[in-house]
Amino acid sequence: MTDKEREFEVNQLLKVNDSIKTIDIKNKVKTNNGYEWVTTPYATVSARVMGFRLLYPTGTIETNLTYDEKYVYAEARISDCDLLLSTGHAREYKENKFAPEVAESSAVGRALGLLGIGIQNGIASAEDMEKKNETELFDIPIENKDEWVRKFTALYTLEEQVKILNMKQITKVEDMELDSLKKYVENRQKKQTN
């Protein structure tokens, strides 16, 4: 492939990616202040498939499913004129009513993402990110630090607050670590109930 052909191919991919619609997905992200919601746009698998059809009108998407006791595994192979362009893999718990479909869509989305289609904000598709949010790994409650700051300032006198802030060598309650805020609030609440 010549440099000019490669440049044309890259420009086509950029045009397709600019036209791909995304949906906003909220994710829990660990920050210095605990976990917070961050909204990021991701391309759906269907948008990636449409982008693929624009770029490779003669291209093919083949999938293969295998099973074990716990999972459905999917492999997607993206080709054009018998040239393998990309592969993608995914798995889904068999207990999911739509496990084969979910695994297959995820594998196709990953394969197309690895090909560069719809990856404005990552290889994962919108569906993958939504599924990730439903897993137990991300079932961590989001702590509202502002609420803990409000509780702290309501429970402690101004003099007590200044003393605590000086001890921690900070100037504002908002700068206090979330864990510290929670401990101070919980300790004061315990004292008030005893």
| One domain, residues 130 and 159 | no
Query: 43, 124 in Cβ contact below 8 A?
Result: no
pLDDT at 75 over 90: yes
Same domain? For 20 and 70 the reply is: yes
What per-residue confidence (pLDDT) applies to 86? 95
Mean pLDDT of 134-145: 52
Residues 84 and 178 in one domain: no
Residue 79 has pLDDT above 90, yes or no: yes
Per residue in 86-106, pLDDT (tens digit) is 999 999 888 888 889 989 999
Question: How large is the average pLDDT for residues 59-85?
Answer: 95
pLDDT at 132: 63
User: What pLDDT is recorded for position 66?
Assistant: 96
As a 3-state breakdown, the chain gives helix, strand, coil percent values, each rounded to 5, of: 50, 25, 25
Shared domain check, 8 and 24: yes
SS3 194: coil
Mean pLDDT, rounded, for 2-12: 83
Number of domains making up the chain: 2
Q: In the chain, where do the E strands start and end?
A: 22-31, 34-43, 59-67, 71-80, 83-93
Residue 5 has pLDDT above 60, yes or no: yes
Is 134's pLDDT higher than 80? no
Which residues span the domain enclosing 168?
Answer: 145-193
CB 81, CB 97: distance < 8 Å: no
Decide which of 141 and 134 is more confident. Answer: 134
The answer to whether residues 78 and 48 touch, using CB atoms and an 8 Å cutoff, is no
- Report whether pLDDT(51) > 80: yes
Shared-domain flag, residues 8 and 95: yes
pTM: 0.62
